[in-house]
Structure formats: C-alpha cells, structure tokens
A and B are shown apart, each in its own frame.
Chain A
Amino acid sequence: MAVPVRKFDAVIVGAGGAGLRAALQLSEAGLKTAVLSKVFPTRSHTVAAQGGVSASLGNSEPDHWHWHMYDTVKGSDWLGDQDAIEFMCREAPNVVVELEHFGMPFDRNADGTIYQRPFGGHMSNFGEKPVRRACAAADRTGHAMLHALYQRNVRANTQFFVEWMALDLVRDEQGNVQGVVAMEMETSEVYVFQAKATLFATGGAGRIFASSTNAFINTGDGLGMAARAGIPLEDMEFWQFHPTGVAGAGVLITEGVRGEGGILRNSAGERFMERYAPNAKDLASRDVVSRAMVTEINEGRGCGPNKDHVLLDITHLDPEVIKSKLPGIREISIKFAGVDPIKAPIPVVPTCHYQMGGIPTNYRGEVVVHDQVVSGFYAAGEVACASVHGANRLGTNSLLDLLVFGKSSGNSMIEFIKAAPKDLPPLATADVDRSLARVARLDGQQNGTPVETARAAMQRTMQNHCGVFRFKDMLKEGVEKILEVESMVKTIEIADKSKTFNTARLEALELENLIEVAKATMISAEARTESRGAHVRDDAADTPEHPNGRDDQNWLKHTLWFRDANRLEYKPVNLKPLTVETIALKTRSY
C-alpha cells in the first residue's frame, strides 16, 4: 500500500525532557529534524516532575561527582553500568548549568547560586551523611525544566509535529533503522517519517499498573514499537514504587517533602523509618522506604479506617517554608487528599512510579543488542536503559538522565548523520505493511474485546502479581494471566471508527504497546530468582550468605526480554567505569 513518505536527517519520537534536549542539539547543528509528540511538548509528563535534578554543584556544602556516582551505583544495587553512571555524574554540573543558561527558573541561595535540597540516597563522602544535591525550582522542577527546554527549541526553530503518534519502527532487511510509521491524530492519516537517525524518547509506561503516578499518555509506546521490531527490552522487572503517592488518587508527593524535613508516621504516630534505616531514616532509598511502609501496613500499623496507608507529616515545618518551597504539594494535597499539610498530615501509599528498564543503550545513546549497535537507532530518557538506574533509581537522577543522555544521543546522531551517505536508501516496506495491518485489524474487528476490559485486566494482574513485594507462586500465575490478557488484546475492538481525532483508536493502539511492557515485566520478574533493588521476592530472603536476598554469583546481570517466543537472554553488568576504579560490590544499607 502506498503511504506518503516524509524525509529528514533525524526523527525524534517524544518531546519530553529527553526528546527536547536531543532536538536542541540537532536543531542547533542545523540538521533537518522532525520531533513527533502525542501531545503539545509542554504537556509531556516531564512536566509533572517535582523534586529536583541532581548535580554535585556543591552550592551549599562540599559535594563531588564521584560521591554522586557512588550513591547512584549503590542505589542501583550494583545493577547499573558503571561507565554510564560515571559519564552521567561527571556531566551533571555541565548540563544543569547549561539548563540555567537556557532560562530555567531555579530557586536561588542568598549568594545567587542555584538552590539545592537533600533527597533520598544523596550522601556526601561515599555514603557518610545526607548532602544537598537536588537542584530545584520550588516543587515544580519538571515543569520549569520542560518549559525552558521547549522555549529554547522555539528559539532554535525546531520543527514539531504535534499530536502525531508513532505507530511502529521501520527497519530494513539488515536490521538498520530507517524511521517510523506515524499517524496524524487529527486526521488519522498515516505517514512514514524516514530519516538517517531515529531517536525514541517516548517516556515511561507506568500505566501497566492500576495505581500509578504516571499520566494517561505514559503507555510505553517506544517499548512496544521496539519489541515488535525485534529489539529486546532490558531489566523490565525493575519498577520503582514511589513511597508517597496520595492514597486513593495516585498523584505523587515528591521526596523533596522529606528532603525539607517531612516525616513518615504509622498509626501509633511513630517515626518508623528509624527502625528500618537508622542513618538515612526517611531519606533512605525509595525501594527501602516503600517496603518499610508496606511492612507497617501489613503488620496492622497502617492509618485510616482501613489501615491501608501511612501519614506524611510536615505540620512541624514553618508554614512559610511550605508555602515557598512546597507550594505545588500543598495544592495537590488540598485538591486530591482534602488536607492542608500545614495543618494535618497527608495520607500516602507506595505507588508505581518509574521504569528502570527499557530499550538497551550505551552511554552514547546508541541502541545495543548485547554488544551490537543497531545502526541508526537511538533511545534516551525513561524509555531507555543505559543503564544508570539499575535495580533502583535515585530521586532526581531521571531528570538528569534526560539532560545528559538527551544531549549525548543528539551528539551521536549528529556524528552518524554527517558520516552517512547524502541520500536516504530505498525504504523497506515490510514493517510499514505490518503497521498498516495493525491499524486495519483494529478498524475491521468485530465481536472483539472492549479496550477497557482488556486494559483493566492487565492493570489488575500487574498490580496483584508484580507489586512492591513479589511471591514466587503469584509471579508464576501472573505470567499465565498476562498471556491470557495478551490474547484478549489481540481482539480489542472500538466502536468509534471516525477519522477525526479518534481518541478511542489511539487508546487501543496504546494498549497494544502496554501489553508488550506488561509481558516483559512479568516474565523477566518471574525468571529473576533473587531480590535486588526494587525487585524483592519471598523466595529470595535476607540470609548471611545472600544479604537482602541478593545473589551476585548468579544474578549480577541484565535481563534481555525478546518478544519473539518471550525469550530471555542475559548480559553482564559493566562494572568498569571510564576513568575511576570500580565501585566494589557491597551489601546495601542506609
């Protein structure tokens, strides 16, 4: 079938922090770049980030990128690749200062420098004591950053295709990436965007879970597209449950609240984190705090009529500090929890928040399958797995990841495009046909499954079988169930067949991506028979031989899930940094 083709040097799918940072590199280098986004750029979910972006600027007290690196490796439970982590932490001060020059309205210290606050897992001197490393614009850091990056792109004349949804990746017979198939949402017209280099910056997929801090549009499209095109997904068993989602609503309350002095309390009013993490207490790493909370709730010390949440207390803070440093949180708390945190504590529960895994890349943003670079294909941001977050991400390291790897993938693309032949090669059509068939199937489906039925089944299955604590039997059953859901998804049906801004069709296409992510997650989790970071199983308990249930002998390796027959392969963790010494394996405690 003939599909119109638009040609570019580069195509970027996604206009969140990662996509916009990459776009800036390419536009400023004068390359013909198309940026596609399902939503107007400033509506991307980066806008919701609250707490901060990390960089060892040392504006309030001594700090060093090497300490930041140590914290990140430790936070990752040693599953992060140390070359990528060194690269990110060294680059952090540069990219954050650059962002300030772009116009980011950071809060300021009295001396005019960027304001920094403490955050979970940020320590000075290799884990000694908390340090102020999170650079913040009140509790609206993501909003300020996304707008600043968009604004800078306006200045650079970046070409945006707003409300275009990429459907599938296009690869030629050799597997080289040639671009994407995409649909204009307003008209349902399908086009091919052909380019020398293609970047996925499509963000997370938190919507595989029933309860999530993620936006409706976080449906893992990049992951689904990659998986269908034969690219494996790395470490998908690792999902971060943020300790403080508003109970019942899922909306996030930033860790910055605890950074500013907030305290978690159980039904007895006890500051229970003192028992679980005597040093870092409420500012221990996220997986540690989330598990402590669930343990408190499971042991009957939860709050409220159903004893199903704990309380985040900031009533002891100066109301002026709350108003100036945490205004957005106060707004959220009043709107979604019905409490003014100046007067009463906020009900919170661990909520699915962030996907540590993703499309495997190296620190240059090139997509790699094992050691093999996929020519012409790049990924950055939450959709990618560099891997800097390993088994558990430190707060504020994601916004940093967007800046560092958005920029580095942009630079890699520039290099690649400059070295590539001037003319684009002939377009391979197999993947284009496959994509069109997917849309045609949906439009022709009869007597199928309603989208909501399949989506709800998926979200329930993930929530019940693959949550904060995981159980061997539940995982096994979860795999069976999620494969059943997959067969439901194969027949999803929409009633609305209009060509004009058909959001029902878009949601159906999104569900086809979500299900790939859900399968990858459940299957990778069932196979990993140890506990590490955010992945904790009942049959891999804390023993002297395997502290915290971690089994380095057998499991110090990355998972690669291939869609084809749900095959799993593994690859080694890169323990060798670029210039410094390996941060040696150690038991993780806070």
Chain B
Amino acid sequence: MTTRTVKFSIYRFDPEKDAKPYMKDYSVELDSSDRKLLDALVKLKVVDDSVSFRRSCREGVCGSDAMNINGRNGLACITDIDSLKQPIQIRPLPGLPVVRDLIVDMTQFFKQYHSIKPYVVNDTPAPDRERLQSPEDREELNGLYECILCACCSTSCPSFWWNPDKFVGPAGLLAAYRFIADTRDTATNERLDNLEDPYRLFRCHTIMNCVDVCPKELNPTKAIGKIKDLMVKRMA
C-alpha cells in the first residue's frame, strides 16, 4: 500500500490547562485508503489521543464534524484530503464558544432552530390514513428538508456572528421555510409573525456565505428570499 505524509496545523485549546488557544503542527502518515479529512483526523488521534473533535456517521449525513478547514466551513468526512493545500489549517467553527479543540458549544445555534417551531402544525383532525399531498407539493420541500443541522452556514454568516441571540440565521430560516412550504402545515401566518422583526429575519443581507459552504448544497438565501416575498405579499 502506498503511503503519504500530510501536514496539518490544528487549533488546540483545553481550558483546563491552556491559558489561550494555539495552533499545533502535525504530520500524519496516511494510506491510500485514507481519502477524507476525517480519516486523517482519526489516524492522528491514534498518535495524540487528546485531539478532540466530534464525528459519527462518516458519510455526511449526521452533521457532527463541521469545522473550519483552510478558512472554509465544511464536513471533515466528505472533504478530500488531496484537494486541500498543506499544511491543512483546521479550526473550530467560527463565532461559537469553543469547548475544547474543534468542539464548539452549539447551544445558541439549536436555540435559534427551536425558536422557529420546527414541527408541522396542523390542528385539523387527522384522517385515518395519510394526509394527501401531491408530488408537486411534496417537491416544494426538496432542498429544505435535507438539512443536517451541521451549522456550517450559520457560523459563516457575519450577521449571525454579530447577533447570534437575535438573528435566526440561515439554518433556522431554512427550517422555517421548510414548514411554511409544507402544504400540511396550517401555521404560515403565525410563522411569519414570529419572524416579523428587525433582527430575526431581516438581518440577512444576502451575503450568500451560507449557500457557498452548505455541504448538502442547500440554499438558505433562496428560502430567506421566499419568506421575505411572503411577508411583502401579506402586507399588500
């Protein structure tokens, strides 16, 4: 098996012993079967078991291993090592408090997600069978329901950095539109009321960082635009 050496510079911080964060250099021996950045981090952890990061599915569906890779947010498990300039600079997602190394405190991110009431609201009595929905109506949910809550988008959004407590952020707004767009949901008006606020929705200045980084190729900006359109329509 052919091996290669890959160089890293990794953000390290353990509040128990480090006064402040620092970058540490590593070089890791990799096999040809180690293709993704997560493979390399797992190998690195064998050598230095104190390097801390979250990971689970290793296939880009659970949203655990979002991090800042050479200045750009992404998932380690689906990022090709060989596409990256070395030394590969790895930092935690920007804008959230760091718990340790690459592990950030996501409380604020989930709080915003929860704030949009992320569930289908429909108080009409449920039929014995499924509620019917046409394939066309169902298609409206494509590009919305696939979000994995990785936070790559919100933590690359300047508006979210400045106002994480007030601005819902791209992930939360994408989710809000997912429920507005669902023909089975009857709470569109309440949902719009909930976002009618100088911060919650309107802090988005269409900078598009979110679209750029989303590992699932979703488009929060477009969803945000659609919510804004509905607001305007409602006022008219």
Q: Are A103's CB and B119's CB within 8 A? A: yes
Q: B residues within 8 A CB of A97?
A: 128-130
Instruction: State in angstroms the CA–CA spacing of A248 and B59 once bound together.
Output: 13
> Is B3 among interface residues, defined by CB-CB distance under 8 A?
no
Report if A112-B16 is in contact (Cβ < 8 Å); known contacts: A48-B59, A151-B118, A215-B56: no
> Is B182 among interface residues, defined by CB-CB distance under 8 A?
yes
Q: B residues within 8 A CB of A143?
A: 61, 146, 148
Which segment, of A38-46, A73-81, A353-361, faces chain B?
A: A38-46
Give chain A nearest CB distance to B103 CB in angstroms: 5
Q: B residues within 8 A CB of A110?
A: 134-135
Which segment, of A278-286, A288-296, A492-500, A523-531, faces chain B?
A: A492-500
Q: Are B49's CB and A501's CB within 8 A? A: no
Q: Are B184's CB and A48's CB within 8 A? A: no
Give chain B nearest CB distance to A506 CB in angstroms: 10
> Is B110 among interface residues, defined by CB-CB distance under 8 A?
yes
> How many residues of chain B get a CB closer than 8 Å to chain A's CBs?
55
Instruction: State in angstroms the CA–CA spacing of A191 and B148 once bound together.
Output: 30
Report if A105-B138 is in contact (Cβ < 8 Å); known contacts: A42-B149, A143-B146, A498-B16: yes
Q: Per a CB cutoff under 8 Å, which of B16, B58, B118 touches A500? A: B16
Write the A78-114 contact mask toward B (1 if CB under 8 angstroms, else 0): 0000000000000000000100111101111111111
> Is B232 among interface residues, defined by CB-CB distance under 8 A?
no
Instruction: State in angstroms the CA–CA spacing of A109 and B184 once bound together.
Output: 16
Q: A residues within 8 A CB of B45?
A: 503-504
Write the A135-160 contact mask toward B (1 if CB under 8 angstroms, else 0): 00100100110010001101100000
Q: Are A42's CB and B146's CB within 8 A? A: no
Q: Are A109's CB and B135's CB within 8 A? A: yes
Q: Per a CB cutoff under 8 Å, which of A45, A101, A331 touches B56? A: A45
Which residues B159-181 have CB closer than 8 A to chain A? none
Q: Are B46's CB and A452's CB within 8 A? A: yes
Q: A residues within 8 A CB of B234?
A: none
Write the B95-119 contact mask toward A (1 if CB under 8 angstroms, else 0): 0000110010010001000100111
Give chain A nearest CB distance to B175 CB in angstroms: 9
Q: Are B130's CB and A114's CB within 8 A? A: yes
Which residues A461-482 have CB closer than 8 A to chain B? none
Q: Are A501's CB and B59's CB within 8 A? A: no
Name the residue of chain B whose CB is nearest to the CB of A217. B56
Q: B residues within 8 A CB of A45?
A: 56-57, 62
Instruction: State in angstroms the CA–CA spacing of A110 and B135 once bound together.
Output: 6
Report if A152-B119 is in contact (Cβ < 8 Å); known contacts: A39-B62, A43-B64, A105-B141: yes
Interface of B is mostly: loop
Write the B143-167 contact mask toward A (1 if CB under 8 angstroms, else 0): 0011011000000000000000000
Q: Are A501's CB and B52's CB within 8 A? A: yes
Instruction: State in angstroms the CA–CA spacing of A549 and B33 once bound together.
Output: 37
> Is A566 among interface residues, defined by CB-CB distance under 8 A?
no
Report if A108-B100 is in contact (Cβ < 8 Å); known contacts: A103-B119, A251-B59, A503-B53: no
Q: A residues within 8 A CB of B103?
A: 501
> Is B63 among interface residues, defined by CB-CB distance under 8 A?
yes
> Is A12 among interface residues, defined by CB-CB distance under 8 A?
no
Write the A301-323 contact mask toward B (1 if CB under 8 angstroms, else 0): 00000000000000000000000
Q: B residues within 8 A CB of A451?
A: 49
Q: Which of B17, B57, B58, B184 has the most CB of A within 10 A?
A: B57
Q: B residues within 8 A CB of A573?
A: none
Instruction: State in angstroms the CA–CA spacing of A215 and B53 once bound together.
Output: 15
Q: Which 6 A-B pairs give the minimum distances between C-beta atoms? A: A112-B132, A103-B120, A504-B49, A496-B50, A151-B119, A43-B62
Q: List chain B positions with a Cβ less than 8 A from chain A.
A: 14-17, 33, 35, 45-46, 48-50, 52-64, 78, 99-100, 103, 106, 110, 114, 117-120, 122, 126, 128-135, 137-138, 141, 145-146, 148-149, 182, 184-185
> Given A155-B119, A501-B103, 16 more contacts at CB 8 Å?
A39-B54, A39-B56, A40-B106, A57-B130, A100-B130, A103-B184, A108-B135, A112-B134, A113-B132, A154-B114, A215-B56, A216-B57, A496-B49, A498-B16, A498-B100, A503-B53
